[in-house]
């Protein structure tokens, strides 16, 4: 949870009460504080290692953690609960109490209270509580701004990255996220998701607990979806469709195989995007009202690249469903052992195997079951089909190398269990007999027709995927990236479940990744351009500024996805544009947030801005302008050590490119150092005379200096470079008006209005 935005009093430092600590704790606390005072941002682990005290008790470690919290808060850094739990899993319960006390001391004006049913929370009206836990609440709500549509709100403290995980996943087998909204004053985050009705598999298995497996059917599952646990009467959700029709006809075993195949498809989709779920279990699977199985709850999800590292400091999971290697890694982390375990996509395959075992056999598997699985019977006496038992046995191998290599292979095998002759996972007995008689009477002719239809359908799906690839290429040529992304997702879903076509699937995935990046890059560039125009002579009303600020936040949230495919050391023109755009976004967005903040919140906003600017420097590289901006905002809120550090960094950096001079000039402009800013902009124009923004900001600086002839010339260059920009005509009109050229000013204002009628009306001439 972020503490950088608090406006409460800072908690007392331990250095002022160190005599109340043990001698070792007092020594280490003082040493940590002294290091930070000297500019060394060392962590608790480093202090413990230097004194061979890594095995010290809570009387030493907890005071050290508390001191680091205070130091980081003073430094304007964000303090995250989840990060601390990952760093110190051994002290989880003590840390929980420490953080609660710390927040009460640091934020006396703010308490974290969950909203209640019947309340208006943000733009949502809460109408029922769907569930709760120690870390959050889940509500059914309506959204009045969108015709009172019903949604599910997951309300949690502002910790973790579940919203970032879900934002990347758009699949029919994964519950999507509509939006994420934070409420800093309450310390809460809201994930808004569609209301799909239905029940979790955990709830369904509880309802079927007393019914033998050989007496269950897919129809029982469909019937449970008709019921609703809510006392309210939510609006109708989809209850018809192919999934519900299939469940109504299927045997229980066939329904389980189909559910498993759908979940395997969803896991494969997430794995292909570098994300592991790591908590697959019945309570994290939704069977929607229309019968569609969907994965829930990505709060434990981890990047596959993180788990490929030699050492990690945190991992989650649920006992009974975790793979052996995941369980071993968790134990190693808890006990502080320096052991390495490979945890990859096969851990999710193991967990899905456990879930299917529980659905089919009525209990979680033990080690002894895995050897005997092909011959084992469930507790109600119904033998497990040999083919399906073999599939489960492969999922549940202790050695990951013996499991399915990927979830796509598992999905294919589960679908084979649905249709292979001799399988016991067919329809109800009476339906099977009728079908067999019909097939006997119709003979080979009908089988041939079916084969022809399947072949035609298969070819049609492949053709649809190939056509989607071609259409997406055409759309990208006209910069319609968002439409291209939708087209590629449709094409990929048409063949995602089909065996073979690996090359075409990979081609579509590669296209989708590059197109999604291009769309994000385009949105970033559009937003940054909007921000750059705000420094011009025009003024915009607050509602337009707030809309731009919201766009900035959405684009900034995409930074992690962009940095994955944009190496910091790359010298390509596109990657350089992305880096400079993100640096400009951090600087200009921070200024806009400060401009829009109420007086009593400006210090908190500046502290958040310092954190944003520091992260931008870490991700995209330091620049003289960025260092100056950190220094300016840090000085404004008394973060003197941070300001001094970045002043030293700024002194070592000198602009060498047109963008470097332009960016530094803009920072000088914010500090009202107009002549120095004008000099930097002139150097930028000399290096890049055909660059739109260097000329535009030269026009701004000369206009503010009262050098209106030079401003007219600079804005005139902008008109020549990009004659479709209404703002250039408008700003040149302002310069003409300042010189008393009423006719020229009026012509420019009229041209600006033709290009963009939404601009403010021209000021009176003269």
CA distance 155 to 335: 32
Same domain assignment for residues 137 and 22 = no
- Structural domain tally of the chain? 5
Q: What is the CATH number of the domain that holds 402?
A: 1.10.510.10
**Rama region for 255: left / alpha / beta (φ>0; ψ in -120 to 50; rest):** alpha
Q: Is residue 547 part of a domain?
A: no
Q: Which two tokens stand for residue 639?
A: 């973060």
Q: What is the CATH number of the domain that holds 178?
A: 3.30.200.20
Q: Is residue 615 part of a domain?
A: no
Q: Is residue 291 part of a domain?
A: yes
Find which of 169-183, 192-206, 366-380, 522-536 is predicted with most confidence, using mean pLDDT: 192-206
The pLDDT assigned to 229 comes to: 54
Same domain assignment for residues 447 and 435 = no
Same domain assignment for residues 171 and 212 = no
Mean pLDDT of 151-173: 73
pLDDT in tens, 408-447: 999 999 988 876 544 444 444 444 444 445 455 555 666 6
pLDDT greater at residue 219 or residue 108? 219
Supply the pTM of this predicted model: 0.45
Contact by Cβ (8 Å): 393, 374:
yes
DSSP bridge pairs for 189: 156, 182
Same domain assignment for residues 285 and 207 = yes
Same domain assignment for residues 308 and 369 = yes
Boundary residue ending a domain (413, 441, 469): 441
Same domain assignment for residues 346 and 430 = yes
Q: Is residue 603 part of a domain?
A: no
Residue 620 reports pLDDT greater than 50: yes
Find which of 33-42, 74-83, 524-533, 586-595 is predicted with most confidence, using mean pLDDT: 586-595
The pLDDT assigned to 441 comes to: 56
pLDDT in tens, 506-516: 888 888 877 87
CA distance 141 to 139: 6
Boundary residue ending a domain (179, 195, 211): 195
Q: What is the CATH number of the domain that holds 710?
A: 1.25.40.10
pLDDT in tens, 440-453: 555 566 666 666 66
Same domain assignment for residues 493 and 466 = yes
Same domain assignment for residues 235 and 350 = yes
Domain that holds residue 42: 14-106
Contact by Cβ (8 Å): 588, 531:
yes
Same domain assignment for residues 221 and 324 = yes
CA distance 269 to 295: 11
Q: Is residue 555 part of a domain?
A: no
Instruction: Determine which of 146-150, 157-161, 309-313, 407-411 has the lowest per-residue pLDDT on average.
Output: 309-313
The pLDDT assigned to 304 comes to: 58
Same domain assignment for residues 230 and 339 = yes
In DSSP notation, 124-181 reads EEEEEEEEEETTEEEEEEEEGGGTTEEEEEEEEES-SSHHHHHHT---TTB----EEE
pLDDT in tens, 311-322: 555 676 777 888
pLDDT in tens, 7-45: 333 444 444 344 456 778 878 888 888 888 777 788 888
Contact by Cβ (8 Å): 377, 323:
no
Same domain assignment for residues 697 and 743 = yes
Exposure on the CB side of residue 324, measured as CA atoms within 13 A: 12
The pLDDT assigned to 447 comes to: 62
Boundary residue ending a domain (72, 106, 140): 106
Same domain assignment for residues 761 and 677 = yes
């Amino acid at each position: 949870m972020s503490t950088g935005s608090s406006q409460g009093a800072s908690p007392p430092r331990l250095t002022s009460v160190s005599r109340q600590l043990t001698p070792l704790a007092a020594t280490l606390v003082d040493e940590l504080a002294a290091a930070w005072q000297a500019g060394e941002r060392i962590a608790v682990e480093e202090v413990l290692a230097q004194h061979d005290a890594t095995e010290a008790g809570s009387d030493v470690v907890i005071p050290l953690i508390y001191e680091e919290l205070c130091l980081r808060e003073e430094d304007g850094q964000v303090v995250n609960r989840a990060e601390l739990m990952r760093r110190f899993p051994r002290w989880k319960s003590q840390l929980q109490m420490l953080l609660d006390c710390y927040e009460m001391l640091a934020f006396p004006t703010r308490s974290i209270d969950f909203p209640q049913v019947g309340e208006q929370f943000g733009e949502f009206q809460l109408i029922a509580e769907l569930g709760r836990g120690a870390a959050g609440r889940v509500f059914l709500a309506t959204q009045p701004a969108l015709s009172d549509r019903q949604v599910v709100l997951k309300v949690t403290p502002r910790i973790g990255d579940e919203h970032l995980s879900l934002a990347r996943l758009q699949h029919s087998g994964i519950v999507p996220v509509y939006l994420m909204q934070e409420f800093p004053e309450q310390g809460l985050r809201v994930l808004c998701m569609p209301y799909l009705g239905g029940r979790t598999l955990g709830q369904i298995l509880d309802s079927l607990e007393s019914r033998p497996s050989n007496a269950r059917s897919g129809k029982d599952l469909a019937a449970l979806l008709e019921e609703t646990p809510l006392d309210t009467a939510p609006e109708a959700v989809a209850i018809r469709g192919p999934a519900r029709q299939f469940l109504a006809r299927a045997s229980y075993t066939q329904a389980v195989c189909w559910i498993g195949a759908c979940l395997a498809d969803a896991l494969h989709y997430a794995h292909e995007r570098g994300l592991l779920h790591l908590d697959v279990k019945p309570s994290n699977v939704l069977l929607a009202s229309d019968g569609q199985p969907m994965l829930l709850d990505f709060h434990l999800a981890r990047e596959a690249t993180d788990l490929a590292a030699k050492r990690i400091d945190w991992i989650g999971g649920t006992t009974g469903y975790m793979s052996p290697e995941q369980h071993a890694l968790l134990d190693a982390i808890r006990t502080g052992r320096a052991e390495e375990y490979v945890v990859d996509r096969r851990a999710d395959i193991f967990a899905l195997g456990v879930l299917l075992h529980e659905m089919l056999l009525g209990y979680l598997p033990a080690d002894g079951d895995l050897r005997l699985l092909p011959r084992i019977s469930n507790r109600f006496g119904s033998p497990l089909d040999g083919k399906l038992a073999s599939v489960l046995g492969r999922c549940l191998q202790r050695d990951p190398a013996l499991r399915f290599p990927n979830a796509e292979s598992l999905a294919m095998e589960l679908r084979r269990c649905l249709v292979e002759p001799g399988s016991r996972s067919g329809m109800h007995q009476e339906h099977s007999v009728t079908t067999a008689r019909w097939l006997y009477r119709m003979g080979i002719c009908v089988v041939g027709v079916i084969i022809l239809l399947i072949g035609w359908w298969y070819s049609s799906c492949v053709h649809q995927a190939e056509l989607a690839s071609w259409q997406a290429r055409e759309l990208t040529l006209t910069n319609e990236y968002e439409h291209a992304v939708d087209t590629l997702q449709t094409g990929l879903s048409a063949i995602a479940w089909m065996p073979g076509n690996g090359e075409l699937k990979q081609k579509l995935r590669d296209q989708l990744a590059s197109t999604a990046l291009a769309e994000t890059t385009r949105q970033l560039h559009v937003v940054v351009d909007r921000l750059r125009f705000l420094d011009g002579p025009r003024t915009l009303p607050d509602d337009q500024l707030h809309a731009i600020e919201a766009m900035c936040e959405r684009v900034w949230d995409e930074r992690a996805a962009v940095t994955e495919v944009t190496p910091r050391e790359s010298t390509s023109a596109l990657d350089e544009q992305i880096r400079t755009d993100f640096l400009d976004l951090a600087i200009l967005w921070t200024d806009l947030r400060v401009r829009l903040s109420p007086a009593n919140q400006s210090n908190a906003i500046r502290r958040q801005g310092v954190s944003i600017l520091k992260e931008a420097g870490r991700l995209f590289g330091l620049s003289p302008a960025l260092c100056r901006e950190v220094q300016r905002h840090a000085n404004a809120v008394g973060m003197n050590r941070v300001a001094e550090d970045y002043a030293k960094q700024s002194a070592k950096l000198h602009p060498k490119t047109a963008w470097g001079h332009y960016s530094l000039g803009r920072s000088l402009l914010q500090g009202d150092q107009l002549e120095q800013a004008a000099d930097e902009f002139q150097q930028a124009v000399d290096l890049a005379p055909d660059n739109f923004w260097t000329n535009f900001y030269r026009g701004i600086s000369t206009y503010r200096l009262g050098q209106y002839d030079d401003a007219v010339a600079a804005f005139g260059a902008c008109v020549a470079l990009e004659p479709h920009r209404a703002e250039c005509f408008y700003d040149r009109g302002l310069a003409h008006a300042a010189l008393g050229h009423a006719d020229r000013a009026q012509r420019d204002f009229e041209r600006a209005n033709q290009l963009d009628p939404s601009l403010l009306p021209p000021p009176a001439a003269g």
